[in-house]
Each structure stands twice: as C-alpha cells, then as structure tokens.
C-alpha cells in the first residue's frame, strides 16, 4: 500500500501534505489514462511498426518521452519510478522492471516469455489493482481529517 498523507501535528495540514495528495491524484489519473490506452488497443501492432507491438510504458502517451526519439526527459523524473524497485532505478529503461504480479513478473520478463495476450492481461490487472488501491487511499484521505505518524 502506498502511504498518502502524513501530518506534522494532529489536525494540521502542511504544504507537503497537499503536494503528496496532489501527486497521488496525478498518478491516479495517469494510471487511468494508461488503462484507457491499453483498452483502446494502444499496445497492439501498429502501421508504424507492424513487426512488433509497442513497448509497454515506453511507447505510451503517459511516457514523458512519448513520440520524441531524442528522449529529452530523464527516467528518474517519470511517474513510473514509484513502481520500480530502488535497486533497479538506474537501469537504462527502468520502467521495464515494474513488478506487475506478486510472483515477480515484470514488463521485461513478459517481453522475454509472455505472449501479447498474456502481456495485455497482466498489465490490465496491474493497472486496475493500482487504480483501485490509489482510489481507496484518496477516499480514505478525504474522509480522515488527519493521519498521525504513530
């Protein structure tokens, strides 16, 4: 579970709290857009590259470098880094190491061993799970006026 809000004092909202909450809302909207892209067939073979399916996350509108072959944005600034294990964040393309299942299946392992149908279904389940998780956390944050650091 992703921690959403921490308060410095009981009942006192801080600027940092607002930024964290806004960031979580942005990630939620981006996950929803990614699921919509997947459901519309965005990861199926295209006229532009009929010999292969588009790369998961890398060739999605949610990628900061989408459509720009010069890749001006560093991956370390991407929203997906929240889901990349810290020890893999220095990889050349870290979003390939987002763990999509509890068993450790990643985008990279799906490229190696999965079919396009398995890849889409695994990604769809992961996206929906993350959307549900963040939606629940944001709903809880809206209901609870503060969270203590215990």
pLDDT, average across residues 21-50: 89
Question: Quick check: 4 pLDDT over 50?
Answer: no
pLDDT in tens, 38-78: 999 999 877 777 888 889 999 999 999 998 888 899 999 99
- Buried b / exposed e across 48-58, counting CB within 10 Å, b at 16+? eeeeebbbbbb
Which residues make Cβ contacts (< 8 Å) with residue 18, sequence separation at least 6?
Answer: none
Residue 113 neighbours by CB distance under 10 Å? 10
State in Å, rounded, how far the first CA of the chain is from the last one. Answer: 17
Cα→Cα distances 56→26, 72, 103, Å: 20, 19, 19
pLDDT in tens, 67-101: 888 889 999 999 999 999 999 999 999 999 999 99
Per-domain boundaries in the chain: 15-141
- Whether the predicted model's global pTM rises above the 0.85 cut: no
């Amino acid at each position: 579970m992703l921690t959403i809000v921490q308060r410095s004092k009981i009942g006192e909202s801080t600027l940092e709290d607002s930024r964290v909450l806004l960031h979580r809302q942005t990630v939620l909207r981006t996950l929803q857009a990614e699921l919509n892209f997947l459901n519309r067939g965005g990861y199926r073979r295209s006229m532009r590259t009929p010999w292969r399916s588009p790369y998961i996350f890398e060739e999605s509108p949610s990628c900061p470098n989408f459509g720009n072959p010069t890749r001006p944005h560093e991956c370390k600034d991407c929203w997906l880094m929240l889901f990349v294990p810290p020890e893999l964040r220095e990889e050349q393309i870290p979003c390939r190491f987002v763990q999509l299942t509890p068993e450790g299946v990643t985008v990279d392992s799906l490229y190696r061993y999965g079919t396009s149908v398995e890849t889409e279904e695994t990604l769809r389940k992961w996206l929906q799970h993350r959307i549900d998780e963040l939606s629940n956390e944001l709903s809880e944050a809206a209901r609870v006026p503060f969270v203590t650091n215990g």
